[in-house]
Amino acid sequence: MMWMRFVRIAGFILAFQLPGLPVFAADWPQWRGPNRDGVWSEMGIIDRFPAPKLTPRWTAPVGPGYTGPTVAGDRVFLMDRQTQPKQVERVLCFERETGKSLWTYPYDCPYNNVQFTLGPRASVTIDDGRAYSLGTMGHLQCLDAAKGTLIWGKDLGKEYKIQRLIWGISASPLVDGDRLIVQVGGADGACLVAFDKKTGAERWRAGNDRASYSAPILIQQAGKPVLVCWTERTIIGLDPETGRIYWEYRYDAGKTVMNVATPVVDHSRLFVSAFFDGSIMLKLDEREGEAPAEPRLMWQRRGESITKTDSLHSTITTDYIDGDYVYGIDSFSQLRCLKAENGDRVWENLTVTPRERWGTVHLVRNGDRTWLFTERGDLIIAMLTPAGYEEISRAKLIEPTTQGVGRLVCWSHPAFAYRHVFARNDRELVCVSLAKPD
């Protein structure tokens, strides 16, 4: 009891407040959490689920979409799409404690030449009292996070002559300092563009490759901040302040490029995995010098086909590195553990979710446990170690309602914040407490 009270008090002491909307250490303010690494650092979390089906603290009606929720202060943010009486995308804001709708920002957005048309893909990024949204067709908005009013907006499709991806624009915007960085995929060296986060003015552009669906991340390399982005056929490292390209690793990709997962970094290793092209592990050069140097290839592995895979062929799932091992979901739902040094398989588990093409499980780490959210709407507490997969507890969090490839799925990444989990399908947003009883 006393320890739990100390943890709660310490959490508020460690919290930091920014102008406008407060942002606390318990927030999940962007794609895959505070550091975009799928790590949930809160304490006082339950060890097992109390029942086979979780009871929501609240639910709120929403429309279709793939956007995962984000949480900042007392608010939850999401995007969806409506087709009647006309086609609009919407940015939604709810009260975190009750699920009450606080504001909705709709804008006209007809979908053209896009597959999987249910709705937006990219999570809303919250920073310094502003909400940054990016729609399927390239509408970039900066909204007042408290009021829902437009501060600035851009139609990236028109302004940057985007060669649009078949599954739409998906990579969540990234805030770094006073810049908002977006994988645009535009013409004239505008694969990546940094905007002034307050005004929307272009600060820099870089890269000539086409865009992918993968969200950019920030890392430290050789004592310097480096922006890492996985584009269509290149892994690229840049100076986030100027857009100067430090290094590019270009590889031989197949005809169909499906780079969805976010790059993951553990110390000096950088890992990416794709459905058709398999896995690449790079060794980052950590020698301190004038600029971070080009990484070297540790290994690259690709199976004979999408059914006879080698290493990992991930789809929507972002894998993770833990010490000398990589854990992730292969192209047909197989949970695998690999040796980080060479990609050799240590074990495979087929019990997490049924075998399906483009099978998806989102992995979030909390301490020594991994929380797995399956496309069937199950939430699992497990231990993933080199010895194998140990399932501790499983419960139904939300019903799958999205029509995937011949099945109903939940493909949206959940948010873990304030000792709660927030998840969505095409009908509702749910909030469930994961707090250990006092």
Instruction: Look at residue 217 in the predicted model and tell me its pLDDT.
Output: 98
Instruction: Look at residue 249 in the predicted model and tell me its pLDDT.
Output: 96
Torsion of CA 44, 47, 51, 54, to 10 degrees: 50
**DSSP per position, 357-387:** TT--EEEEEETTEEEEEETTSEEEEEEEETT
pLDDT surpassing 80 at residue 256: no
User: Averaged over 123-135, what is the pLDDT?
Assistant: 98
**DSSP per position, 141-174:** EEEETTT--EEEEEEHHHHTT----TT---PPPE
User: Averaged over 228-233, what is the pLDDT?
Assistant: 96
User: Averaged over 218-239, what is the pLDDT?
Assistant: 96
Distance between CA atoms of 360 and 340, rounded to whole angstroms? 22
Helix (H, G, I), strand (E, B) or coil at 286: coil
User: Averaged over 52-58, what is the pLDDT?
Assistant: 98
pLDDT surpassing 90 at residue 289: no
User: Averaged over 376-403, what is the pLDDT?
Assistant: 97
* Beta-carbon contacts of residue 252 (< 8 Å; ≥ 6 apart): none
User: Averaged over 39-63, what is the pLDDT?
Assistant: 97
Instruction: Look at residue 22 in the predicted model and tell me its pLDDT.
Output: 53
pLDDT surpassing 50 at residue 14: no
User: Averaged over 179-193, what is the pLDDT?
Assistant: 96
Q: How many domains does the chain have?
A: 1
Q: What is the mean pLDDT of the chain?
A: 92
Residue 76 sits in a domain whose CATH number is: 2.130.10.10
Instruction: Look at residue 134 in the predicted model and tell me its pLDDT.
Output: 98
- What does the pLDDT look like over 413-431, one tens digit per residue? 999 999 999 999 999 999 9
User: Confidence band (pLDDT; 50, 70, 90) for 311?
Assistant: very high
- Does residue 65 sit within a domain? yes
Instruction: Look at residue 21 in the predicted model and tell me its pLDDT.
Output: 54
pLDDT surpassing 50 at residue 11: no
pLDDT surpassing 50 at residue 177: yes
Instruction: Look at residue 24 in the predicted model and tell me its pLDDT.
Output: 59
Token duo for residue 197:
């986060």
- The secondary structure of residue 12, as a DSSP letter, is H
C-alpha closest to that of 301 among 271, 266, 323, 267: 271
User: Averaged over 206-220, what is the pLDDT?
Assistant: 95
188 Rama sector, left if φ>0, alpha if ψ -120 to 50, beta otherwise:
left
Using alpha carbons only, what angle is made at residue 213 by residues 69 and 199, rounded to the nearest 5 degrees?
A: 70
pLDDT surpassing 50 at residue 7: no
Distance between CA atoms of 360 and 336, rounded to whole angstroms? 13
pLDDT surpassing 50 at residue 13: no
Distance between CA atoms of 232 and 210, rounded to whole angstroms? 5
**DSSP per position, 123-138:** PPEEETTEEEEE-TT-
pLDDT surpassing 60 at residue 5: no
Give the whole-number percent of the chain exceeding pLDDT 90: 86
User: Confidence band (pLDDT; 50, 70, 90) for 23?
Assistant: low
pLDDT surpassing 90 at residue 306: no
Torsion of CA 341, 343, 349, 352, to 10 degrees: 90
Instruction: Look at residue 18 in the predicted model and tell me its pLDDT.
Output: 39
Torsion of CA 230, 234, 240, 242, to 10 degrees: -150
C-alpha Rg value of the chain to the nearest Å: 20
C-alpha closest to that of 77 among 66, 92, 63: 92
pLDDT surpassing 90 at residue 111: yes
User: Confidence band (pLDDT; 50, 70, 90) for 232?
Assistant: very high
User: Averaged over 266-285, what is the pLDDT?
Assistant: 95
pLDDT surpassing 70 at residue 25: no
- What does the pLDDT look like over 152-176, one tens digit per residue? 999 999 999 988 788 999 999 999 9
- Does residue 438 sit within a domain? no
pLDDT surpassing 50 at residue 94: yes
- What does the pLDDT look like over 66-88, one tens digit per residue? 999 999 999 999 999 999 999 99
Structural domain for 373, as ranges? 2-433
